C-alpha cells in the first residue's frame, strides 16, 4: 500500500490510495471544451491533475493518464438546452468548428507545457470516438435505462436508485427541470441526454448517423466512453473541477455503472476549487478572463503562475489578483536564485543530513497533495544555514519532481527594458555569485555588462537592468 492519502469526493473522507492493479495507477481528467481560449481558471484543474500524477509516480507507480478534449456536445446551458458551444462559436466567427477546436486545443496544450504539466498518456477527442459513444448508449437502451422524446434519447434517472448519492442531491426538493433544464417530454428533471437529434431544417457542422437518427452525442457520454476504452473499468482516479460534481460527474457515474454493472465505477474522485477573481469565479460567461499569455505580456514567467498555484491547496478557493501574482513572481525568483546558487555544488549529501527534510516534504505531498506545506519546506531548505550546499542542491532537485518549477535549469527572470536572454542569464549568474559571497565574480559580471552600457539596480524584489 502507498503512503499517499487523498480526499475522495465519493466518500467525503481522506483515504489511503492503493491502485486496483498493483504498481499501476489509472487516472482520467475532464479536459477542456475547446470553443474559446482556456483561461487561468481552467488551468487550475490540470495543475492539480499534474500534482496528482507526480505524487503517484513518487510512490513508485506507473501512471496512465487520459485527458479528454470536448469538441462536440457541450451545450451553452451545461445541460440539454441551448446551442452547442462549438457550433455557436463557428456561426459567430464564420469559421469551421474543427478549425476553432484545433486552435484552442493547441493553445491549451501550449499553456500546459509552459506551466510544466507532464504530457498525458492519451489526449482523446470526443469527435474521434463517436462509435464508442453510440455503443455505450445502445447498451443502456438494451438494458432499459433510456427513453426517446422529440429532441433525443434520454437516460431515465429514476431507474438508478443511487443517482443522488454522489453529489448528495435533494431531487425531491427540486422542481422538474430546475437543475438540468426544462426540456419538453422529459420524465424527470434530472434526466439527461445521451444522444441529441439534429434540429429539423438545421444543418449542423457536427452531426453523425446513429441507430436513432442523425444527431450528436450528449456531453456526459464522451467521458464514460473514452475513459472505459483507455483505462478499463473500474479505474483508480477521476479528476475535475468542483462545478462538475452535481451534474456532469453525477451523470457519468449513472450511465457508466448501469452500462457496466459495476459499483463503484471509479475508486477516487478528486475535485479542485475555483480561483476567485475580483470576488467572482473566473468564467467566459462573466467576461472576466485572463489567459496565460496575458501574464507573459505583463512580464511574468509562466512558471511564476505555477508557483502561485502551489501557494494554495487545490481544495480551497484561491484569490487571484495581479498583486498576488507579483508576490508569487518574487517568491519564485527567490527560490530559483537559491537553487542556482547550489547547482554546481560539489560532493554528495550525507543521507542523515537530508533525511528529516525529505521526510517532512514527503509527508506534505502525501497529505492530500498539500503543495503549500511542501513549498514551505523547500524554502526552509533553500534558506537553511545548517545544511551544506550539496545537501541543499540534492533536496531542492528532489523536491522539484513534485513542484515542477525547473529548479535544475531555469534562470530567475529579471525586469528589463526590451528583454535579452543573454543579459538575463548574466544578471542571474551575478545574483547567484552575490548569494554565495563571491563578490569578485559578481563585480566581474557587473563590469562586463557596464562595458556594454547595461546598468544593474539591486532591489528588494531582485536585480533589474536597463540600457544606458
pTM beyond cutoff 0.85: yes
Provide, rounded to the nearest whole percent, the portion of the chain with pLDDT above 90: 70
Q: How many CA atoms lie within 13 A of 65 on its CB side?
A: 23
Which residue, among 78, 6, 5, has the nearest Cα to 35 in the 3D structure?
Answer: 78
Position 416 scores a pLDDT of 46
**pLDDT, tens digit (0-9, with 9 covering 90-100), for 337-392:** 899 889 888 888 888 889 999 999 999 999 999 999 999 999 999 999 899 999 99
Which CATH number is associated with domain 322-403? 1.20.120.640
Pull the grid cell for residue 465.
Answer: 537592468
Round to whole Å and give the CA distance between 206 and 402: 40
**pLDDT, tens digit (0-9, with 9 covering 90-100), for 178-195:** 544 578 999 999 999 999
Q: How many CA atoms lie within 13 A of 250 on its CB side?
A: 25
Which of the four pLDDT bands, split at 50, 70 and 90, describes residue 176? very low
90: pLDDT strictly greater than 90 = no
Position 203 scores a pLDDT of 81
Contact 272, 280 (CB under 8 A): no
- 144, 153, 195, 382 from 141: Cα distances, Å: 5, 9, 11, 60
Asked if domains 5-276 and 322-403 share a fold, the reply is: no
**pLDDT, tens digit (0-9, with 9 covering 90-100), for 276-296:** 887 665 555 555 679 999 998
Q: How many CA atoms lie within 13 A of 282 on its CB side?
A: 22
**pLDDT, tens digit (0-9, with 9 covering 90-100), for 108-135:** 999 999 999 999 999 999 999 999 999 9
Average pLDDT value for the chain: 91
Position 263 scores a pLDDT of 97
453: pLDDT strictly greater than 50 = yes
Return the domain boundaries, the chain: 5-276, 322-403, 415-467
Which of the four pLDDT bands, split at 50, 70 and 90, describes residue 456? confident
Pull the grid cell for residue 225.
Answer: 466512453
Which CATH number is associated with domain 5-276? 3.40.50.620
Position 250 scores a pLDDT of 98
Round to whole Å and give the CA distance between 53 and 118: 8
Amino acid at each position: 500500500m502507498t503512503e499517499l492519502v487523498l480526499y475522495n469526493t465519493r466518500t467525503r473522507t481522506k483515504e489511503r490510495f492503493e491502485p486496483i492493479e498493483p504498481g499501476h495507477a489509472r487516472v482520467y481528467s475532464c479536459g477542456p471544451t475547446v470553443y474559446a481560449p482556456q483561461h487561468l481558471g481552467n488551468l487550475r484543474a490540470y495543475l492539480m491533475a499534474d500534482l496528482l500524477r507526480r505524487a503517484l509516480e513518487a510512490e513508485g507507480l506507473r501512471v496512465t493518464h487520459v485527458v479528454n478534449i470536448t469538441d462536440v456536445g457541450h451545450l451553452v446551458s451545461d445541460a440539454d438546452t441551448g446551442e452547442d458551444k462549438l457550433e455557436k462559436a463557428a456561426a459567430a466567427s464564420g469559421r469551421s468548428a474543427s478549425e476553432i477546436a484545433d486552435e484552442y486545443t493547441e493553445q491549451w496544450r501550449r499553456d500546459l507545457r509552459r506551466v510544466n504539466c507532464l504530457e498525458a498518456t492519451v489526449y482523446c477527442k470526443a469527435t474521434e470516438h463517436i462509435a464508442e459513444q453510440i455503443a455505450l448508449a445502445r447498451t443502456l437502451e438494451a438494458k432499459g435505462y433510456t427513453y426517446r422524446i422529440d429532441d433525443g434519447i434520454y437516460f431515465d434517472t429514476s431507474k438508478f436508485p443511487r443517482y443522488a448519492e454522489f453529489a448528495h442531491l435533494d431531487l425531491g426538493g427540486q422542481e422538474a427541470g430546475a437543475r438540468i433544464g426544462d426540456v419538453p417530454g422529459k420524465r424527470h428533471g434530472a434526466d439527461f441526454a445521451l444522444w441529441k437529434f439534429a434540429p429539423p431544417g438545421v444543418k449542423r457542422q457536427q452531426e453523425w448517423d446513429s441507430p436513432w437518427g442523425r444527431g450528436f452525442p450528449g456531453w456526459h457520454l464522451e467521458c464514460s466512453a473514452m475513459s472505459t476504452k483507455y483505462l478499463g473499468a473500474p479505474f483508480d482516479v477521476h479528476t475535475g473541477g468542483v462545478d462538475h460534481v452535481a451534474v456532469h460527474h453525477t451523470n457519468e457515474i449513472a450511465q457508466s455503472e448501469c452500462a457496466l454493472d459495476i459499483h463503484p465505477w471509479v475508486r477516487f474522485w478528486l475535485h479542485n476549487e475555483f480561483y476567485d477573481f475580483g470576488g467572482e469565479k473566473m468564467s467566459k460567461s462573466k467576461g472576466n478572463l485572463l489567459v496565460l499569455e496575458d501574464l507573459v505580456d505583463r512580464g511574468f514567467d509562466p512558471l511564476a503562475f505555477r508557483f502561485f498555484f502551489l501557494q494554495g491547496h487545490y481544495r480551497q478557493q484561491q484569490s487571484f489578483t495581479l498583486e498576488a501574482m507579483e508576490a508569487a513572481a518574487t517568491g519564485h525568483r527567490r527560490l530559483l536564485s537559491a537553487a542556482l546558487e547550489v547547482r554546481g555544488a560539489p560532493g554528495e549529501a550525507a543521507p542523515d543530513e537530508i533525511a528529516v527534510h525529505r521526510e517532512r516534504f514527503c509527508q506534505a505531498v502525501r497529505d492530500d497533495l498539500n503543495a503549500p506545506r511542501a513549498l514551505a519546506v523547500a524554502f526552509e531548505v533553500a534558506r537553511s544555514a545548517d545544511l551544506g550546499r550539496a545537501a541543499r542542491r540534492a533536496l531542492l532537485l528532489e523536491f522539484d519532481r513534485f513542484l515542477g518549477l525547473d529548479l535544475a535549469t531555469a534562470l530567475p527572470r529579471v525586469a528589463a527594458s526590451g528583454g535579452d536572454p543573454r543579459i538575463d542569464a548574466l544578471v542571474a549568474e551575478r545574483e547567484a555569485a552575490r548569494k554565495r559571497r563571491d563578490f569578485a565574480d559578481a563585480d566581474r559580471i557587473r563590469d562586463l555588462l557596464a562595458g556594454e552600457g547595461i546598468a544593474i539596480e539591486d532591489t528588494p524584489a531582485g536585480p533589474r537592468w536597463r540600457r544606458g
